[in-house]
Structure 1
Amino acid sequence: MFFYLSQFLSFLAMPLTVVLIMILSGAVFIRRKWGKKILWTGIGLMLFFTNPFLSNLALLAWEHEYKSFEEIENHEIGIVLTGVTNLSKTAYDRTFFNKGADRITHALQLYRMGKIKRILITGGQGLNPVNPQSESEVLMRFLIMTGMPESDIMIEDQSKNTRENAAFTKVFLEKNSIPMDQEFLLITSAFHMTRAKGCFDKVGLQTETFPVDYYSHDIKFDLPGLLYPSPDSLSNWHKLVKEWIGLLMYKVAGYI
């Protein structure tokens, strides 16, 4: 019930949903004064949400600050949250990465640099699996292919959301007699780190954050970025609003 309520609220609050409702409502009631106001407000919001410069400012304000590899202390275990592969495309001899591949590639780099000694990947099949593979298994095979010893890779492959990532990771650590009084390195997308960190704090796991997979970029002033509408900007707002609603719902449910 909680999941479906969260999804419904996300749908209603999505920028594109709001804009379409306003434009369609305004068009239907165009002969009325308030109808015209709604229509023009919807058009104005569409220009706002498709502006690359404004969407980048919002991302810069929300995403966790970048950390260099050098400033990260050494940790025994780096915890990687999944959500970086396309499991909808079935293949058993390769990995189809999506935008979030930084989560696992930067974790591998941290391992090669000696910043972490082992990698724990947490994440299963998601909520609507189309094949028997879990994402943790897919990423483990990728790491082994790169030459990383299987003995340094651990997987938790039952979790379906961020809350379960934290809760099931704790159970995994308990079952494998891994000390939980240590600090773990939490690796996930910069826009998702606030919710992830909150969930791990809630279950009592101490973490240092290592945000990756940035959607924002350095501020620059150019004509396309300032004036040209972009569907990518609308997509970025979609991700932000979805994350904000997820964070709100997690707070209401007591997950963070």
Structure 2
Amino acid sequence: MFFILSKILGFLFMPMSWIVIALVASFFIKKYSKKLRLAALIILLFFGNSFILNEVKLLWEVPVTLDQNLDHYKYGVVLGGYAYYSPENDRITFAKSGDRLFQGLRLLKTDYVDQLILSGGSGYMLFPELKESLYVGSYLEAIDVSSDAVILESESRNTHENALNTFEILKSLGAETKPIVLLTSAYHMRRAKACFEKVGLDVIPYSAESPSNKRLFTLDHLLLPSASALAEWNVLIHEWMGFISYILAGYV
């Protein structure tokens, strides 16, 4: 139920949804048509502003951990939500958040971690059989990443379940008290780290997916609306909703 509700509410809390709703409503509510269109314009200018977005990301995202500050660890945990499988094409497509996996592979190949735990089941309501870590595991095997270096956890549907199921795997290996490197996107790290610490794991955060940038004061960055900025706001707001709901549910 929690999984389904999060999918539905996600749509309602997207800035683009607010813009569309305001514009559509302006054609039917004549009395407030000008105010509704003005509201749509203000939402577009605010949430489409790259400078404002970057300032918020600077405040929210967990900074990158430099490799020079790492020790050697037995396990790195890569959280799912970065790959999509197309049965028609029999091919995996990686999203921007695929950086989670690729940073994990780099840590594996440079001997910062001995094994990667790929934690991620199905993120689809209609296709529960499409389990991310399983098809990513097949992909890695096809490109000659040793199966001995990868542990697959394919039942998790959200960050809370990532933490619970990873803990059970580590407990079965007698490693639940050892520090782990946690790999997820910078915007997601606060919630992920809190979830993993809640179940008793010692976490070394390793943020991926190009965190916030240095401040730019160029004209386009300061004034021109950006479609990519709108899209990133969707991700941030969804994450904040998730964090608040996890606090209320006692998951963090």
Alignment of 1:53-68 (within 5 A): 53-68=51-66
Normalization by structure 1: what TM-score?
Answer: 0.88
SS of 2:244's equivalent in the other structure is helix
Residue matched to 2:104: 107
Separation in 2, partners of 1:80, 1:31 = 52
Residue matched to 1:98: 95
Please tell me whether the aligned partners of residues 77 and 119 of structure 2 are also in contact (alpha carbons under 8 angstroms): yes
Shift of 1:103: 0.8
Could you tell me which amino acid in structure 2 is paired with residue 42 of structure 1?
A
Query: What 5-or-longer segments of structure 2 have no aligned partner?
Result: none
Does 35-44 or 161-170 show the bigger shift?
35-44
Normalization by structure 2: what TM-score?
Answer: 0.90
Shift of 1:74: 1.4
Residue matched to 1:195: 191
Q: Alpha-carbon deviations, 1:115-173, whole Å to 9, x = none?
A: 10111111112233648442112222333344432212111111111111111112222
Please tell me whether the aligned partners of residues 64 and 211 of structure 2 are also in contact (alpha carbons under 8 angstroms): no
Match of 1:246 among 220, 242, 245: 242
Q: Alpha-carbon deviations, 1:67-109, whole Å to 9, x = none?
A: 22221221110001111111245554x5321111111111111
Please tell me whether the aligned partners of residues 23 and 40 of structure 1 are also in contact (alpha carbons under 8 angstroms): no
Please tell me whether the aligned partners of residues 108 and 143 of structure 1 are also in contact (alpha carbons under 8 angstroms): no
Please tell me whether the aligned partners of residues 26 and 36 of structure 1 are also in contact (alpha carbons under 8 angstroms): yes
SS of 2:138's equivalent in the other structure is helix
SS of 1:11's equivalent in the other structure is helix
Separation in 2, partners of 1:50, 1:157 = 36
Does 145-154 or 165-174 show the bigger shift?
145-154
Q: Does the alignment pair 1:217 with 2:213? A: yes
Separation in 1, partners of 2:4, 2:204 = 32
Q: Does the alignment pair 1:235 with 2:234? A: no
Structure 1 residues 162 and 55: CA distance shift in structure 2, 3 A: same
Match of 2:120 among 118, 123, 137: 123
Separation in 2, partners of 1:215, 1:20 = 29
SS of 2:210's equivalent in the other structure is coil
Separation in 2, partners of 1:125, 1:10 = 17
Structure 1 residues 90 and 198: CA distance shift in structure 2, 3 A: farther
Structure 1 residues 184 and 90: CA distance shift in structure 2, 3 A: farther
Structure 1 residues 100 and 62: CA distance shift in structure 2, 3 A: same
Structure 1 residues 20 and 137: CA distance shift in structure 2, 3 A: same
Residue matched to 1:170: 167
SS of 1:83's equivalent in the other structure is coil
SS of 1:216's equivalent in the other structure is coil
Separation in 2, partners of 1:57, 1:90 = 41
SS of 1:103's equivalent in the other structure is helix
Please tell me whether the aligned partners of residues 121 and 136 of structure 1 are also in contact (alpha carbons under 8 angstroms): yes
Separation in 1, partners of 2:125, 2:232 = 23
Query: What 5-or-longer segments of structure 1 have no aligned partner?
Result: none
Please tell me whether the aligned partners of residues 4 and 125 of structure 2 are also in contact (alpha carbons under 8 angstroms): no
Residue matched to 2:16: 16
Please tell me whether the aligned partners of residues 87 and 129 of structure 1 are also in contact (alpha carbons under 8 angstroms): no
Separation in 2, partners of 1:249, 1:37 = 32
Q: Alpha-carbon deviations, 1:221-242, whole Å to 9, x = none?
A: 2222222221111101111101
Shift of 1:212: 0.2
